[in-house]
Amino acid sequence: MENKNWLEDNFEETRHRLLAIAYRMLGSADEAEDAVQEAWIRLTRSESEKIENINGWLTTVVTRVCLDMLRSRKSRREDPLDEKVYEIPSEESGNPEDDFLLADSVGPAMLVVLDLLTPTERIAFVLHDLFDLSFEEIAPIISRSEMATRQLASRARRRIRGASTPKEDIERQKEVVSAFLAASRDGNFEALIKVLHPDVILRADETAIKISESRKSKGAPQFQHEIRGAKNVADTFKGKAAAAQLALVNRMAGATWAPGGKPVVAFFFSLKGGTISAIDIVMDPQKLSAIEIEMLD
């Protein structure tokens, strides 16, 4: 009984921090609560008297639970369209844990961008940049070397911190995205191949996939959860981007389609060596509402 009380006291002391970490990793208050509860269950079933650092042990367990949940989410893509994944807990809840998350939370726009990262990129960025864990501490949690973990966080940081991208880089991004859109409109396969990285990956959310399928007869590009390789991505967009226009998407060069002036899709572009290495398509209305889109042209 004494040991159980000691565990409960230690767990409650770190519970708020664990919830904050899990919320940033998952973007969902409910899932964060599930992850932290799972850590508690594992703690009660462990040989707790042999654990030297309870806080560190719990952080590791919560992170690994979140990593499994992120990987499952990526592989199954089963988020329902009406799920409030990016809902920040209400100030009126009266729950001090919810108030903590609200006061210290990242904004919805940040969560949208975090959702575009790979699970390991997201873990490395959240733990290092938001919670000041060292790469030496993070590496064993995600089963990577310290150098690989540093690189994961660096890749994530480049996408997260688009607002700080130098003006000349933004202009270069605009040139590459404009060339992509022009080649797509013209149906110029060779020009598309030229602007795409050989290992480019195209990702689309569930809404985009369903809408593209419903408009197949009208010539809409057919999206999937993932399409890899320059040839396959070029085939997907060849002659298909007539209505898309250049835009700043979260202050980085991207594209949108905005009938009547209201954006209904956001295209995120990642560049590598002057070519497009990744395209992420967001059409979910709730996620889209949290994205900053400034139409150009």
Tokens of 53: 């650092």
> Where does a domain end: 76, 95, 115?
115
pLDDT at 101: 38
Q: Is pLDDT of 85 > 50?
A: no
- Asked if residue 187 and residue 290 are part of one domain, the reply reads yes
For residues 172 and 274, membership in a common domain is answered with yes
CA distance 241 to 221: 8
Indicate the average pLDDT of the chain.
80
Q: Where are the beta strands (DSSP E) in 21-60?
A: none
* CB contact at 8 A, 32 and 89: no
Domain that holds residue 241: 165-295
Tell whether 217 is covered by a domain. Answer: yes
So what's the pLDDT on residue 110? 65
Q: Is the dihedral of CA 123, 32, 29, 13 positive or negative?
A: negative
> Measured between alpha carbons, how far is residue 186 from residues 182, 222, 258 in Å?
6, 18, 20
Residue 252, pLDDT above cutoff 50: yes
User: Residues 170, 288: one domain?
Assistant: yes
CA atoms of 101 and 225, how far apart (whole Å): 31
The least confident of 57-66, 230-239, 278-287 is 278-287
Residue 134 belongs to some domain of the structure: no
Q: Is 160 within a domain?
A: no
Whole-angstrom distance, CA of residue 283 vs CA of residue 264 = 6
Band the pLDDT of 297: cuts 50, 70, 90.
Answer: low
Distance, in Å, from the CA atom of 54 to the CA atom of 36, rounded to the nearest integer, reads: 14
Does 111 lie in the same domain as 179?
no
CA pair distance 45, 184, nearest whole angstrom: 56
* Residue 12, in any domain of the structure: yes
Contact assessment for residue 199 and residue 228, using Cβ atoms and an 8 Å cutoff: yes
Q: Count structural domains, the chain.
A: 2
Q: What is the pTM of this model?
A: 0.54
Helices (H) and strands (E) in the chain, counts: 13, 7
**Average pLDDT value for residue range 160-184:** 78
Q: Are residues 108 and 181 in the same domain?
A: no
Of 91, 90, 95, the C-alpha closest to 16 is 95
**Same domain assignment for residues 41 and 107:** yes
Q: What is the CATH number of the domain that holds 258?
A: 3.10.450.50
Question: Is residue 149 situated within a structural domain?
Answer: no
Q: Are residues 170 and 280 in the same domain?
A: yes
pLDDT of residue 251: 76
Q: In this predicted model, what pLDDT tens digit does every residue of 87-138 receive, in sequence order?
A: 333 333 344 344 333 333 455 556 667 777 889 999 999 998 888 899 999 9
